[in-house]
Amino acid sequence: MKIVYTDVLIIGGGLAGLRVATGVKERGHDAVILSLVPPKRSHSAAAQGGMQASLANSKMGEGDNEDVHFGDTIRGSDWGADQEVARMFVHCAPKAIRELAAWGVPWSRVQKGDRTAIINAQKVIISEKDDAHGLITARDFGGTKKWRTCYTSDGTGHSMLYAMDNKAHQDKVEIHERMEAISLITDEGRCYGAVARNLMTGELVAYVGKATTVATGGYGRIYSVSTNAIICQGIGQAIALETGIATLGNMEAIQFHPTAIVPVGILTTEGCRGDGGLLLDKDGYRFMPDYEPDKKELASRDVVSRRMTEHIRKGKGVKSRYGDHLWLDITILGREHIEKNLREVKEICENFLGIDPAVSWIPVRPTQHYSMGGIRTKYTGESQTLKGLYSCGEAACWDMHGFNRLGGNSVSETVVAGMLVAEYISDFCDSPESSMHIHSSKIEMALKYERDKLEALLTKQNGEDAYVLRRRMEEIMMDKVGIFRNGKDLQEAVSELEELLKRSKNIEVFRSKSRAANPALVNAYRTQKMLKVALTVAYGALLREESRGAHSREDFPARDDENWLKRTITSWPDENQTMPSVSYEQIPVGNMELPPGFRGYGADMTKHHHETKMRLATVEAVQEKLQKEGATRFEIQNALMPYLDKLPKKYRNINERLGENI
Amino acid sequence: MSEEKPRILKIAVLRFDPNDKNDFPHMEHFEIEEADGMTLFIVLNEIREHHDNSLMFDFVCRAGICGSCSMLVNGRPTLACRTLTSKLDTNITLAPLPLFKLIKDLSIYSGEWMRYLNEHLETWIHDKEKEQNFDKLEERMEPSLADEIYELDRCVECGCCVAGCGTIQMKPSFVGAVGLNKIARYHLDPRDKRSDEEYYELIGDEDGVFGCMTLLGCEDVCPKDLPLQSKIAYLRRMMVKTALKN
């Protein structure tokens, strides 16, 4: 029986997990990372287009600051986000990106003087300021008022992840590769670590620590086609759910990215459209301006994905044996630009489609991309209900994205949340309440429990085939819990998923009986977990009778703040349940800095909350009064919704910007 | 192609489970009907799902970005996920990348090798300066230099260059093109304050840049088309200069 003790156990070696690890190390705590793969192979590496931070260095970013980034993020979330968390995030994003610059990320820089760019299909000359030369530059992304997305060509996630992992090497963070956490160890309402399975040898190891952090990314692979890496299966959310204590938030909030290639679903970055690429239909017609005359191709992701789907439904899609698709045209950007700033896209087109995107259009359609939902946490990253359990990055519902995440805000969240949560965890570990009271027999029981479950899978006879169940689940999610949703389909999805979950208790691992490296065994236990996650998504979607952000109900097309300005909270208190328990957490209007309004896409059908009008009047009155008194933007912000006291002291300072006098 | 009868692909896979005392390395054969746009990622998953669920292999991003799925395809190291079957003959032989510890079948423990390499070469920014203040404007960098660093930063540690290296076959302690490229990358980076002498300490020997026999298999097989040949040559000149200076 192997037990490894540490201070902070981190499950997941992507950007968020690595940043937590280096942060707690700096504060003097030991950290162990468990990772399915070498950290440099994590899904963070696939983030292409960039990281949002309001540096305002480039010409088209002039005037940008935390306030503008905040407004974009909240509107993007369709007011589902936690505004205090979003404030903490936008305030720390510039610090995080500068830190990464110091750690080696070769961010693309501002080149002073004139350059040509494509905006709205026109060639435009942009003159960059002399004093911005050599600072970090930014490109345009959807749903943002300023060019704010900082990048390294279109390999941003790769460069960030490599810098972060190298930093972890430097800090001597212990990383246990190919170790999969298969359950969390809890005792008397406290999390004490995890039982992990070595994917090479099959050995089960208990990792015990004062604090446990789940940073395992999203759950896109419950869908049959997803841009996500194949390891993004929601196992982190599932093991949290299986504690019966931790809760998940807004699991139904699933983002579809407008431009994944057909049929394999590999992403082409939003940077394609940010840099001037267009969406065309079967006639080569640019249709987005008809739907969204203002933002066109650069409307928020959820909006573009819906408009594309609508257009395909009108018969304007390009027919293919893999279903209808549309075209992404980046030929107008020119070869030089593509080979410099969109080279991953070029490689993907060459290798998977056999085309050269400098001369040919790219076949694309909206595809599952991001999980806004996840382990529900406080602003500290700690579970609201399970002490000692933390989560950050895509795995968590922190909740800065609400019902739709802006492009460029995800990698940004990973490092910002990572650096903040590392501080809160360190505070916890420094406090007497972190001392551990778990008896070793409890740890042994947790190990035995998992060993018995695996043994049952291997010895079961005449059972179910995990692949059959999993493929069916993926199809259901794809067909019935997709971009447009309706009550009938969702009800069918929930009923059938519940049936699949019941059947999954009877899974048998056919043929391959090895207890060591055994992909069949892995698929068996993951399928059981994924079905629970899928149910939280489908059931949450069925119950939410409104449309908000990426959750779009054809039978309830309006955003309904009066009844639905709240988060869906799911849990699984009894392991014999076949459906998740659901409750709701109100999102109070009364302390919002940016009261709910109209996002500016399509017709405004919002059913407003009865407090919205009053809050709006209060906010406007405060702004007007303070502006008259000559207050700074910081003072006005603080009067509306103070948040700085929530931040660790070291991150409270004002961010310097070119041309901003503070 | 959609009009014609699909080809039947004959896939031969080198299999071995080191955890099984009774197993020994052997070839197994599978037949798969080819589909439009089929990659080896799709082929191997089909084998696992419909023919043999114990077959081990590694895919993560399946988009040619993460470097997990390098293997020998008809004897040549490459990324399997982005290898289209249409570009291959119907007889396809797959084997694990050599030189790395074998986990099982096509799965190798390259992570351990790369981690050791990174720790050994200290592939991070060395800056003994005082604490930096991230509230202030970032340090400036010439845009063209940032681009040049990114060019070398694109390595995905897939191990293809290691498998394609004649020197490592004879001298396993050689850091390979992957290691030398990393040193070239940090040497180029003004944020890394290591001196030429310190770099010499790291790679100025037979395990480093003077071990390379210039066979250049590395550059031939690099899936990211990194300029390995010119960087190794550059490092060698630099190291000679440093050696003569001292």
B46: pLDDT strictly greater than 50: yes
**Cβ-based contacts of B119 with chain A (< 8 Å):** 169
Residues A533 and A530: their CA atoms lie apart, in Å, by 5
Q: Kindly state the DSSP code that residue A331 receives in the 8-state scheme.
A: G
Side-chain half-sphere exposure of A255, counting CA atoms within 13 A:
32
Residues B218 and B222: their CA atoms lie apart, in Å, by 6
pLDDT tens digits along A491-540 = 999 999 999 999 999 999 988 899 999 999 999 999 999 999 999 999 99
Mean pLDDT of B130-138: 88
A263: pLDDT strictly greater than 90: no
B20, B58, B153 member nearest A162 (Cβ): B153
Residues A319 and A315: their CA atoms lie apart, in Å, by 9
pLDDT tens digits along B164-209 = 999 999 999 999 999 999 999 999 999 999 999 999 999 999 999 9
Nearest CA in chain A to B65: A46
Residue A551 a catalytic site member: no
pLDDT band at A563 (very low <50, low <70, confident <90, very high): very high
Amino acid at B128: K
pLDDT tens digits along B138-161 = 999 999 999 999 999 999 999 999
As beta bridge partners, residue A375 has: A248, A396
CB–CB of A134 and B150 under 8 A? no
B49, B53, B68 member nearest A41 (Cβ): B68
Q: What is the pLDDT of residue A504?
A: 97
A555: pLDDT strictly greater than 80: yes
> Peptide bond preceding A263: is omega within 30 degrees of 0, i.e. cis?
yes
Query: Counting one residue from A and one from B, how many pairs have CB atoms under 8 Å apart?
Result: 209
Mean pLDDT of A205-220: 98
A649–chain B Cβ distance below 8 A for any pair: no
Report the mean per-residue pLDDT for chain B. Answer: 94
B129–chain A Cβ distance below 8 A for any pair: no
Please tell me whether residue A187 adopts helix, strand or coil conformation. Answer: strand
Q: What is the pLDDT of residue B1?
A: 46
Q: Which residues neighbour A658 within 8 Å (Cβ) at sequence distance 6 or greater? A: A56, A57, A129, A131, A132, A135, B137
B213–chain A Cβ distance below 8 A for any pair: no
CB–CB of A95 and B134 under 8 A? yes
Please tell me whether residue A267 adopts helix, strand or coil conformation. Answer: strand
pLDDT band at A161 (very low <50, low <70, confident <90, very high): very high
Q: What is the pLDDT of residue B3?
A: 60
Nearest CA-CA partner of B229 in B150, B157, B154, B165 = B165
Tell the burial category of A58 from Cβ atoms under 10 Å away from its Cβ (0-12, 13-18, 19+).
buried
Least confident of A451-455, A616-620, B228-232, B241-245: B241-245
**Cβ-based contacts of B135 with chain A (< 8 Å):** 95, 653-656
A90: pLDDT strictly greater than 90: yes
A662: pLDDT strictly greater than 70: no
Nearest CA-CA partner of A82 in A413, A386, A407 = A413
Nearest CA-CA partner of A208 in A435, A535, A23, A398 = A435
CB–CB of A321 and B36 under 8 A? yes
Higher pLDDT, A444 or A320: A444
Residue A257 a catalytic site member: yes
B2: pLDDT strictly greater than 70: no
- Specify whether the CB–CB gap between A38 and B111 falls below 8 A: yes
As beta bridge partners, residue A371 has: A254
Residues A377 and A388: their CA atoms lie apart, in Å, by 11
Please tell me whether residue A277 adopts helix, strand or coil conformation. Answer: coil
Side-chain half-sphere exposure of A294, counting CA atoms within 13 A:
11
Nearest CA in chain B to A466: B49
B2–chain A Cβ distance below 8 A for any pair: yes
B55, B122, B143 member nearest A109 (Cβ): B143
pLDDT band at A398 (very low <50, low <70, confident <90, very high): very high
DSSP 3-state percent helix, strand, coil across chain A (nearest 5): 40, 20, 40
Least confident of A308-312, A318-322, A554-558: A318-322
Stated as kind and residue range, the H or E segment containing B232 is: helix B228-245
Higher pLDDT, B231 or B131: B231
pLDDT band at A1 (very low <50, low <70, confident <90, very high): confident
pLDDT band at A403 (very low <50, low <70, confident <90, very high): very high
Q: Best interface-test mutation with A: which of B69, B101, B126, B138 has the largest number of A CBs within 10 A? A: B138
Q: Which residues neighbour B233 within 8 Å (Cβ) at sequence distance 6 or greater? A: none
Mean pLDDT of A149-166: 96
| A406-434: b (≥16 Cβ within 10 Å) or e | bbbbbbbbbbbbbbbbbbbbbebbeeeeb
- Specify whether the CB–CB gap between A160 and A19 falls below 8 A: no
Give the pair of three-digit tokens for residue A309: 């789907």
pLDDT tens digits along B78-107 = 999 999 999 999 999 999 999 999 999 999
B4: pLDDT strictly greater than 90: no
pLDDT tens digits along A605-614 = 999 999 999 9
B111: pLDDT strictly greater than 60: yes
Mean pLDDT of A554-570: 97
CB–CB of A517 and B123 under 8 A? no
CB–CB of B142 and A97 under 8 A? no
Q: What is the pLDDT of residue B129?
A: 73
CB–CB of B146 and A353 under 8 A? no
ipTM given for this complex? 0.97
CB–CB of B127 and A108 under 8 A? no
Q: What is the pLDDT of residue B130?
A: 62
Amino acid at A409: N
Mean pLDDT of A541-569: 97
Q: Give B244 to chain A, closest Cα distance, Å.
A: 30
